A and B are shown apart, each in its own frame.
Chain A
Amino acid sequence: MFELDFSVIPANSSLLWEGIKMTFLLASLAIIGGIILGTFLALLRIAKIPVLSQFSAAYVNFFRSLPLILVIFWLFFLVPLIVGKPVGAFSSVLVAFILFEAAYYSEIIRAGINSVRLGQLAAARALGLTYFQSMRYIILPQAFRAMTPILLTQAIILFQDTSLVYVVGLRDFLVSAEIVANRDQRLVEMFLFVALVYFVICFAASIGVKYLQKRIDNEL
């Protein structure tokens, strides 16, 4: 039996803090990029031009059929080949997350667009707004409003998924903790701590989402 010694955490706080910052930076850029690309894919999907909607559908099906860890791994090797020079783990991982998550976000946003009454588009077009203006000012704002809780839930999943960067050795929170754990031989303490931090952040966020959902339900 051994004794738990949590003093290893404050002793390595700056390294761990750098790791947490990396996790948040990666997650937030991936969420923003994923939602932008996802919106674009959703708009292609509902377009009345078959080749565009088929492309979008194929994209979504392709990425939803692959394990995320494989996409991260592949892009780590592929991106430098495509660009022709080393790009660093962070860039390749960020591209992987954006490409992968966009497939999921696009399905959520498409459902959001479909939840807006058809008459809204008719009313917008009747005013003389173009199709894209109607999307931009009328349909998408309502779609995002209705879908905010689900988009945030997906964001929480993405936040957890960022720990998969482990496979390419990017120093996120998990990798930083592992470095400390191995070096100081405090595996149990460090992985308990990591679990606790992920749990607190994600649990708090999901309570926030529930509260938000209630508010939106009351408004609609």
Chain B
Amino acid sequence: MNYKKNHKMIRMRSVNKWYGKIQVLNECSLDVSKGEVIVVCGPSGSGKSTLIKTINGLVPVNSGEIIVSGINVTDKSTDLDQMRSKIGMVFQNFELFPHMSVTENIKLGQMKVLGRTDENAEQKTKILLERVGLTDHAHKYPSQLSGGQQQRVAIARGLAMEPMAMLFDEPTSALDPEMINEVLDVMVKLAKDGMTMMVVTHEMGFARKVADRVVFMDYGKIIEDAPSQDFFGSPRSDRAQEFLSKILNH
């Protein structure tokens, strides 16, 4: 699997972000290679969600450089809409479009952004719904689905754009415990298929199973960036050790 890991997919250099006087990202630098799965963890308020949202320009940064597959996200002249369509994003609160059926949710971007025909979009949607195990729910509305099902639709919606990488912002933290696994299963499958993924999560089981690297953040800084075996074996920083002992001891 290592042959595809020499190509840099995401490259962040010295990224800083302030909200007013509060610095939420402090000199963050990070590389993600093609096919890599990175888990970002850390206490709440540590800047993980902000970090992931800077990658597709949803959160503009104050300084630093972000390059995604050769496209400079932080350059003002970059066509961000174009770039965003190539990066899938899954949100904590699913954010399916409530006035559209599951199928329409998945078709919208394909037709309006990629310019696919109705027929092609429909076909792609069917394949994706099968992949996330929701074929029978194609014509339902988001409000008729459980949280786990909604999140799987959201993943399918992202995949429909045939992205070169997928970003997950706490994809399971709004879910009831019994629904977490159905979403993680889809994500594990995705990781095993070679998708480049950056996942903000507290699901350390998932991190152990599929993450190539774990990034630990605190107070807007990347404190630790290590291969996952090393991170779970013996994290170097005290803060990461403390964090791990808190979330693994129950």
Using CB atoms and an 8 Å cutoff, list the residues of chain A in contact with chain B. 117, 119-120, 122-130, 133, 137-138, 141-142, 145, 219
Contact = CB atoms under 8 A, between A and B. Distances in A.
A137 B95 contact: no
Contacts of A141: 99
Given A119-B91, A119-B93, A133-B112, A126 B99 contact: no
A118 to B, nearest CB: 10
Contacts of B112: 129, 133, 137
Contacts of A122: 53, 58, 91, 95
A117 B108 CA distance: 19
Interface in B71-88: 81-88
Nearest to B110: A127
A128 B82 contact: yes
Given A119-B95, A128-B83, A128-B85, 18 more contacts: A117-B95, A122-B58, A123-B96, A123-B97, A124-B97, A125-B81, A126-B56, A126-B58, A127-B84, A127-B157, A128-B81, A128-B82, A128-B84, A128-B109, A128-B161, A129-B109, A137-B112, A138-B97
Dominant SS among interface residues on chain A: helix
Contacts of B99: 141-142, 145
Contacts of A126: 56, 58, 84, 87-89, 91, 158
A130 B81 contact: yes
B194 interface: no
Contacts of A138: 97
A125 to B, nearest CB: 6
B30 interface: no
B98 interface: yes
Interface size class of B (residues with CB under 8 A): 20 to 34
18 contacts: A119-B93, A119-B95, A123-B91, A123-B95, A123-B97, A124-B97, A125-B81, A126-B56, A126-B58, A127-B113, A128-B82, A128-B83, A128-B85, A128-B86, A137-B108, A137-B112, A142-B97, A219-B143
Contact of A127 (B93, B109, B143): B109
A173 B109 CA distance: 49
Contacts of A123: 89, 91, 95-97
A141 B104 CA distance: 14
Interface in B20-78: 53, 56, 58
A126 B105 CA distance: 13
Given A126-B89, A127-B161, A142 B98 contact: yes
Contacts of A125: 58, 81, 84
Contacts of A145: 99
Contact of B108 (A119, A127, A142): A127
Interface centre among B81, B86, B93, B96 (most CB of A within 10 A): B81
B97 A128 contact: no
A119 B56 CA distance: 15
Interface in B87-128: 87-89, 91, 93, 95-99, 108-109, 112-113
A123 to B, nearest CB: 4
Contacts of B97: 120, 123-124, 137-138, 142
A127 B156 CA distance: 12
B58 A127 contact: no
